[in-house]
Amino acid sequence: MSDVVEKTLTALPGLFESQTGAAKITNRLRQLIKSITELTSKHEEENLIKRELSAIKEQVSSPNTTMKQMREIMVRAMYCEMLGYDASFTYIHAIKLAQQGGVLEKRVGYLAVSLFLNEGHELLLLLVNTVLKDLQSTNLIEVCMALTVVAQVFPKDMIPAVLPLVEDKLSHPKEIIRRKAVLALYKFYLIAPNQVQHIHAKFCKALSDKDPGVMASSLHIYLQLIRESPDSYKDLTGSFVTILKQVLGGKLPVDFNYHSVPAPWLQIQLLRILSLLGKEDQSTSELMYEVLDESLRRAEMNHNITYAILYECVKAVYTIHPKAELLEKAARCIGNFVLSPKINLKYLGLKALTYVVQHDAKLALQHQMTIIECLDHSDFTIKRETLELLFRITNAQNVTVIVEKMLDFLCYVPIKTLTFAPDNSWFIQTMNDVFSIGGDLLQQDDPNNFLRLLAEGKPEEDDQLRLYAVESYLTVLKGHTSHLPQCFLQVMSWVLGEYAHLQESVDRREVIRLLTQLLDQRSVSSETRVWILSALTKIPEGQTDLILDLAESLSSSQDTVLRQQAQELRHLSQDSQLREWVLVENSCAVDSSLSFLDGFVSEALAAGAAPYKPPHQRQEELSLNLEPYSFSLPVSLSSCSITDRQSPTLLSVSSGLSGNSAELSTLILEGVKRVWGKDGYLPQKEATAPPVDEPSAAVQPASQQEAAERIEPRPEPSTQNQDKQQLASSLFVGLGVGSSVSLVRKLFYDGFTASLRGNVMDCLEARSTSVCHYALLMDDPHTNVSLTGTVSYQTQPGHTNTLPFSGTLSTADFIRPLVVTTEEYGKLWLSLSHDVKQNLKLLTDAGDPLRTTLNALKDALQLHVVDIIGSEGIVACRLLSGAPCLLHCRVNGAALAMWLRSPHPALPDFILYHCQRALAHH
Helices (H), 339-423: 343-356, 363-366, 368-375, 380-392, 399-420
Given the complex with other proteins, which of 37 and 602 has the nearer CB atom? 37
Cα distance between residue 662 and residue 658, in whole Å: 8
Binding of residue 788 to other proteins (CB under 8 A): no
Tell me which residue of 488, 478, 477, 574 sits closest to 531, measured CA to CA: 488
Query: Interface residues for other proteins in 841-860 (CB under 8 A)?
Result: none
Query: Interface residues for other proteins in 189-228 (CB under 8 A)?
Result: 190, 213, 216-217, 220
Query: Interface residues for other proteins in 706-765 (CB under 8 A)?
Result: none
Contact between 914 and 814 under an 8 Å Cβ cutoff? The reply is no
Count of residues that bind other proteins according to CB under 8 A = 89
- Listed ranges 152-160, 540-548, 560-568, 855-863: which one lies at the site for other proteins (CB under 8 A): 152-160
Query: Interface residues for other proteins in 429-488 (CB under 8 A)?
Result: 429
Binding test (CB under 8 A) with other proteins, winner from 44, 61, 66, 103:
103
Contact between 806 and 789 under an 8 Å Cβ cutoff? The reply is yes
Cα distance between residue 432 and residue 170, in whole Å: 49
Cβ-defined contacts of 342-348 (< 8 Å, 24+)? 343/379, 343/382, 344/304, 345/307, 346/370, 346/374, 346/382, 347/381, 347/382, 347/385, 348/307, 348/311
DSSP letters along 554-584, please? HTT-S-HHHHHHHHHHHHHHH-HHHHHHH--
- What residues contact residue 793 under an 8 Å CB cut-off, 6+ apart? 641, 642, 643, 644, 645, 770, 800, 801, 803
Other Cβ atoms less than 10 A from the Cβ of 790: the count is 17
Tell me which residue of 308, 310, 233 sits closest to 273, measured CA to CA: 233
Given the complex with other proteins, which of 36 and 548 has the nearer CB atom? 36
Query: Interface residues for other proteins in 154-173 (CB under 8 A)?
Result: 155
Binding string, residues 109-148; x marks residues near other proteins by CB under 8 A: --x---x--xxx-------------------xx--x---x
Taking the complex as a whole, the smallest distance from the CB of residue 481 to other proteins amounts, in Å, to: 20
Contact between 413 and 434 under an 8 Å Cβ cutoff? The reply is yes
Query: Interface residues for other proteins in 221-260 (CB under 8 A)?
Result: 253, 255-256, 258
Binding of residue 176 to other proteins (CB under 8 A): yes
Q: In whole angstroms, how far apart are CA 269 and each of 226, 243, 313?
A: 12, 11, 11
Binding of residue 543 to other proteins (CB under 8 A): no
Q: Which DSSP helix (H) or strand (E) runs through 784?
A: strand 784-796
Query: Interface residues for other proteins in 283-312 (CB under 8 A)?
Result: 304-305, 307-308, 311-312
Binding of residue 25 to other proteins (CB under 8 A): yes
Cα distance between residue 463 and residue 525, in whole Å: 30
Binding of residue 75 to other proteins (CB under 8 A): yes
Helices 368-375 and 380-392 pack at an angle, to 10 degrees, of: 130
- Listed ranges 262-270, 318-326, 631-639, 685-693: which one lies at the site for other proteins (CB under 8 A): 262-270
Taking the complex as a whole, the smallest distance from the CB of residue 68 to other proteins amounts, in Å, to: 8
Binding test (CB under 8 A) with other proteins, winner from 70, 94, 266, 675:
266
Cα distance between residue 166 and residue 154, in whole Å: 12
- Listed ranges 375-383, 460-468, 828-836, 860-868: which one lies at the site for other proteins (CB under 8 A): 375-383
Cα distance between residue 518 and residue 525, in whole Å: 10
Given the complex with other proteins, which of 176 and 403 has the nearer CB atom? 176
Taking the complex as a whole, the smallest distance from the CB of residue 414 to other proteins amounts, in Å, to: 17
Given the complex with other proteins, which of 220 and 329 has the nearer CB atom? 220
Taking the complex as a whole, the smallest distance from the CB of residue 332 to other proteins amounts, in Å, to: 18
Taking the complex as a whole, the smallest distance from the CB of residue 43 to other proteins amounts, in Å, to: 16
Cα distance between residue 576 and residue 578, in whole Å: 5
Given the complex with other proteins, which of 268 and 791 has the nearer CB atom? 268
Running DSSP on this structure, what letter comes out for residue 235? G
Query: Interface residues for other proteins in 797-816 (CB under 8 A)?
Result: none
Taking the complex as a whole, the smallest distance from the CB of residue 753 to other proteins amounts, in Å, to: 19
Binding test (CB under 8 A) with other proteins, winner from 14, 21, 63, 738:
21
Taking the complex as a whole, the smallest distance from the CB of residue 354 to other proteins amounts, in Å, to: 12
Burial of 539 (0-12, 13-18, 19+ CB in 10 A): buried
